[in-house]
């Protein structure tokens, strides 16, 4: 059996009882280590808590060496641990499909993830549209395909969750070209950098999917003891120091309910200004009033 087990967002004890029981039955335990990190628990602490050796699974192992993970899983139990929920990244769907093609039984054990815990900022989950990922820009690579998804969300009034890039065990282009197994220090995108990139692409595309005055919510260390929220415009959040990672961002949609707004005001430096910014933003993409068609003259 291959178990895909969600670990939750922060603590070693965030794992479900069923997930922990499954780990204790497994002969090998892998921890996916590139889409997110468990903020309040180290590899050593997890090993002590589980009573098992934990093998770190980087992107290369999961995407190119999945046969190593699946090897023997038809005869013994193997655990693949994912921070958050197992299906928070498409890579894990691919692993399940590979297992099924090899006739390996799969069991999924779910947990909390940013996709549902984001509701703790006060925005209602059913008011969210498509989620996007913001990657680190480089000198020659500044992708903006996500812009169209924000536009689509904003046109129908929905909030946009922005997941910020992390780089763990990544090689520089130079070292990759030379075949050197030298890895860059871990990097985690900040709220400030994300907002700078948002404004850069808006300036480039100039379609007004959002503006510098569009309200947003900065989310820091979601699910941990130091969890924080900050409500402000995208421009204001460029100047915001969100502290230690992990960070994410929500761009508000036009349909911001009064209860959502009341909740968000708790996180605004200037409550009256933020309320005015939200009300002003609600005019963007506001549908034109319905006008009944003119009746045709009957003869």
d(CA 60, CA 201): 30
Is 270 annotated as belonging to a binding site?
Answer: no
CA 69 – CA 63 distance, rounded (Å): 11
> 9: annotated binding-site residue?
yes
Is position 157 annotated in a ligand binding site? no
Nearest Cα to Cα of residue 30 among 6, 53, 48, 59:
53
The reply, when asked if residue 198 is annotated as ligand binding, is no
* Backbone dihedral region for residue 112 (phi beyond 0: left; psi -120 to 50: alpha; all else: beta): beta
- The answer on whether 82 is annotated among ligand-binding residues is no
203 is in an annotated binding site: no
The alpha-helical segments, DSSP class H, found in 156-270 are 173-177, 191-205, 234-238, 258-264
| 291 in a labelled binding site | no
114 is in an annotated binding site: yes
> Could you tell me the two tokens for 57?
């699974």
The binding site comprises: 9, 85, 88, 113-114, 164, 222, 247
The binding site for S-adenosyl-L-methionine comprises: 9, 85, 88, 113-114, 164, 222, 247
């Amino acid at each position: 059996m291959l178990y895909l087990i969600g670990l939750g967002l922060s603590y070693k004890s965030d794992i479900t009882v069923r997930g922990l029981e499954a780990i204790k039955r497994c002969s090998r335990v892998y921890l996916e280590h590139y889409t997110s990190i468990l903020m309040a628990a180290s590899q050593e602490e997890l090993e002590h808590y589980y009573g098992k050796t934990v093998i770190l699974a980087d992107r290369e192992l999961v995407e190119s060496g999945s046969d190593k993970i699946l090897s023997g899983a038809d005869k013994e139990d193997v655990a693949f641990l994912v921070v958050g929920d197992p299906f928070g990244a498409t890579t894990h769907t691919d692993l399940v499909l590979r297992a099924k093609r090899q006739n390996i039984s799969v069991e999924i054990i779910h947990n909390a993830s940013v996709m549902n815990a984001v509701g703790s900022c006060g925005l209602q989950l059913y008011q969210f549209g498509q989620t996007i990922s913001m990657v680190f820009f480089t000198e020659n690579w500044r992708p903006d395909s996500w812009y169209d998804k924000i536009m689509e969300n904003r046109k129908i009034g929905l909030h946009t969750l922005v997941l910020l890039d992390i780089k763990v065990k990544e090689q520089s282009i130079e070292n990759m070209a030379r075949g050197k197994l030298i890895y860059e220090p871990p990097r985690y995108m900040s709220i400030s950098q994300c907002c700078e990139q948002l404004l850069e692409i808006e300036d480039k595309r100039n379609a007004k999917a959002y503006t510098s005055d569009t309200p947003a919510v900065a989310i820091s260390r979601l699910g941990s003891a130091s969890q924080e929220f900050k409500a402000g415009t995208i421009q204001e959040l460029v100047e915001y120091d969100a502290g230690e990672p992990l960070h994410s961002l929500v761009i508000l949609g036009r349909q911001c309910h009064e209860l959502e707004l009341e909740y968000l005001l708790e996180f605004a430096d200037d409550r009256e200004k933020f309320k005015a910014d939200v009300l002003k933003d609600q005019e963007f993409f506001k549908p034109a009033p319905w006008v009944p068609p003119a009746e045709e003259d009957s003869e």
